[in-house]
Amino acid sequence: MLRMAPSHVDILILGAGWTSDFLIPLVQDRGIIYAATTTTGRDGTLLFRFDPDNEDVAPYAALPRARTVLVTFPLQGRGQAAHLVNMYQRAHSIDTNASDAPNWIQLGSSGAFASDAHWVDSSTPVNASTPRVAAEEELLAAPLNGCVLNLCGLYGGKRDPRGWVSRVARSKEAVAAKKALHVIHGEDVARAIVAVHEAFTPGRRWLVTDLHVHDWWDLMMVWGPQAERLARERLGAEEAQGLDYRRWVTELMQEQGVRALPRDTESLGRVLDGREFWQHFGLWPERGRVFEDEGVLRAERTK
């Protein structure tokens, strides 16, 4: 059944995918008025498909006016961010510099940061030569003055990190190359979005993590049997034959002189420092270190 969207909302979610599974319950709980779009109009969402070449304002006029517009899908290259903002604001007769102009939040990836430095944080330079980052830079710059949340590995709900193991490593040699993993739970992504909505930071790019540096070897030791089972289900028994993550990690520890897991951050290559975002907003992640308990993936709430 179609949920009728009000003409004015607090948050308009452009692209109600995985993120909305966590964001919508949170905004409902807090009494934040929202509307959400999908390319099919499914599940009571508004039908909207972004076309960077379409000058027709009608699709934008069908959307409600919002205090914050959240863009969950990646924009690509210079011009797309400006087109999206300008078309929406033209459809609603909003001047970019008006006091009631919406704030724009773009979700991005922690892969945007270009530095080879050991520690990466919100101030680390980005690789603006990539189409996705170029679009983010356009949104951040005047006169748009948007905000970008660069998120690390997303998990929770349908995203099970145990299934990532066989995607990133299917041999002992591949396991040897794996170092740091950084993640953020969907619930904390939702909390980060609401924090920016309530105290907008124009022109800011934030790196958002769960404040942990996870060691792939450590996780493979914990998740090994479950990761192998998921690999058999995904790849088939023949393709997954021979996977033995715990044995491989143990052998590598012996070969490389690693006495215990997790390895120290100095040996994990590029690592992410997400403190600045949480400190700025006076928050902290509620979902902490991922672990396995009785065969069910869950997240330990930070105490």
**pLDDT for the residue numbered 115:** 73
Phi, psi (5° rounding) for residue 102?
Answer: -70, 155
Give 116-170 as a DSSP string: --SEE-TTS-B-TTSHHHHHHHHHHSTTT--EEEEE-EEEBTTB-GGGGHHHH-S
* Cα 71 to Cα 45: distance, rounded to the nearest angstrom: 15
Nearest residue to 48 via CA among 34, 63, 35, 33: 63
Whole-model pTM: value is 0.93
Helix (H) or strand (E) holding 82: helix 80-91
* Cis-peptide, bond into residue 262, ω within 30° of zero: yes
Cα(63)–Cα(301) distance, integer angstroms:
37
Q: What is the dihedral of CA 53, 58, 60, 66, to 10 degrees?
A: 160
pLDDT reported for residue 97: 81
Phi/psi of residue 163, each to 5°? -70, -15
Q: What's the CA dihedral at 99, 100, 101, 102 to 10 degrees?
A: 130
Q: Is 88 helix (H, G, I), strand (E, B) or coil?
A: helix
- Output the CA angle 58-62-66, nearest 5 degrees: 120
pLDDT recorded at residue 292: 43
Query: Mean pLDDT per segment of 10 residues, for the chain of length 303 residues?
Result: 72 97 98 97 95 96 97 97 97 88 97 88 95 98 96 94 95 98 96 98 98 96 95 94 97 98 95 98 86 42 39
Assign domain 8-160+182-214+270-292 to a CATH class.
alpha beta
Tell me how far apart the alpha carbons of residues 70 and 79 are, in angstroms, rounded to a whole number.
Answer: 18
User: What residue ranges do the domains of the chain occupy?
Assistant: 8-160+182-214+270-292
Per-residue pLDDT at 159: 93
d(CA 107, CA 19): 10
